[in-house]
């Protein structure tokens, strides 16, 4: 089952509900939306996984990237994950996310607001490769146990990016 993300800005935070799979196909549009909100002064990001059926490493690395996003001022973005299920909690724990952000397994009601469904998919191969690379760099930077797991993958992505650049020339 494919997944999608619905979002809204509420009470100084971005609220994002993941339905189905949280993966590289919907991580890009979520990143664009959240980074625009962070640039505009929002400092909270709430990710609701109550209807999420699974997470890939690119999606999880993108979430950690929100915490690392460079903002003006002293207050860094805060990433809170709510309504984690046993499946999503297991995936997040395997990559160290509970050490990097707030994870709540207790039920949290969604805000009373209209949610906007983000587009899915990719516009270009270069953008996809960059997102996947940056997401995995965040995972490695924030948990050294991920370095052995993802170092070969990161090297392959760099090689792919270089080859793609040559294809464009």
Of 26, 95, 28, residue with least CA distance to 57: 95
Report the distance separating Cα 12 and Cα 10, nearest Å: 6
What does the domain layout of the chain look like in residue ranges? 4-120
Report the distance separating Cα 24 and Cα 56, nearest Å: 7
**Segment 59-111, tens digit of pLDDT:** 999 999 999 888 777 778 999 999 999 999 999 999 999 998 999 988 999 99
CATH architecture of 4-120: 2-Layer Sandwich (3.30)
Of 83, 50, 48, 45, residue with least CA distance to 64: 45
Report the distance separating Cα 99 and Cα 145, nearest Å: 12
pLDDT of the residue at 169: 39
Of the listed ranges 52-61, 81-90, 148-157, 160-169, the least confidently predicted one is 160-169
pLDDT of the residue at 94: 95
> Token pair 């973005």 is at which residue?
77
Q: Of all helices (H) and strands (E), which one includes residue 17?
A: strand 13-22
The number of residues making up the chain comes to 169
Of the listed ranges 29-33, 73-77, 143-147, 155-159, the least confidently predicted one is 73-77
Q: Is 26 within 8 Å of 62 (Cβ atoms)?
A: no
**Segment 11-34, tens digit of pLDDT:** 889 999 999 999 999 999 999 999
């Amino acid at each position: 089952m494919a997944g999608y993300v619905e979002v809204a800005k509420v009470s100084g935070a971005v609220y994002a509900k993941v339905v189905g799979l949280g993966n590289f196909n919907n991580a890009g549009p979520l990143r664009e939306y959240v980074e625009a909100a962070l640039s505009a002064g929002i400092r909270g990001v709430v990710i609701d996984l109550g209807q999420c059926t699974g997470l890939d490493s690119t999606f999880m690395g993108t979430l950690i990237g929100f915490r690392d996003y460079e903002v003006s001022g002293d207050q860094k973005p805060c990433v809170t994950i709510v309504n984690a299920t046993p499946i999503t909690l297991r995936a997040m724990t395997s990559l160290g996310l509970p050490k990097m952000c707030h994870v709540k397994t207790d039920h949290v009601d969604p805000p009373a607001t209209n949610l906007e469904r983000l587009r899915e998919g990719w516009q270009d191969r270069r953008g996809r490769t960059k997102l996947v690379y940056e997401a995995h760099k965040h995972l490695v930077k924030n948990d050294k146990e991920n370095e052995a797991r993802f170092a070969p993958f990161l090297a392959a992505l760099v090689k792919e990016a270089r080859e793609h650049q040559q294809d464009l020339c």
